[in-house]
Amino acid sequence: MDTVDLLLAIFHHILVFSLAAVLAAEVVLIRNEMTHRTIGRLAGIDRAYGLVALFVIVVGIVRVFYGLKGWDFYVHSWTFWAKMAAFAAVGLLSVPPTLRFLSWKRQAGADTAFAVPATELASVRGYLRAEMMFFMLIPIFAAAMARGYGQF
């Protein structure tokens, strides 16, 4: 059981760090001048973001039920639920940018002269900043939870 717990923890951590890296890549690609190529890359990176987030959820659920601490540890921890709320907030905040990226890709495919409106860029930047802020809460709550804080 210790080996399973270790492997699940390793995969979970690698996935969470990967999610942070993909989010950072999205932030870097949002520029004032968005080319057709950049928009395509952004849409591809966002697709990877969703896939990595799905794997984080799956491995996290498996970890809750098959890890050493077990469900009882997590269900009675407000820090666990705070971490889940932060993750859910990040997920919800990622929806509007994803919809924009898909729209931009479709428009750029139909019109090579398509230019992303400045207001839409500003809106997406705002969502990405908010995602990053909530994302930073996840390791804070995880560290507290791992040390037994928040048990009720």
**28-78 confidence digits (pLDDT tens):** 999 888 999 999 999 999 999 999 999 999 999 999 999 999 999 999 999
> What digits encode the pLDDT tens for the residues 71-110?
999 999 999 999 999 999 999 999 999 999 999 999 999 9
- Residue 1's pLDDT is what? 59
Residues 6+ apart with CB under 8 A from 150: 77, 78, 79, 80, 82, 144
Question: What are the DSSP calls for 5-19, one per residue?
Answer: HHHHHHHHHHHHHHH
- Residue 132's pLDDT is what? 97
Nearest to 131 by CA among 15, 25, 59: 25
Give the separation between CA 30 and CA 25, rounded to whole angstroms.
9
Global confidence as pTM: 0.93
- Is residue 152 over pLDDT 90? no
- Residue 50's pLDDT is what? 97
- Residue 133's pLDDT is what? 98
Beta-bridged to residue 151, according to DSSP, are 77
Nearest to 85 by CA among 18, 5, 145, 6: 145
Percent of the chain with pLDDT over 70: 99
- Residue 141's pLDDT is what? 97
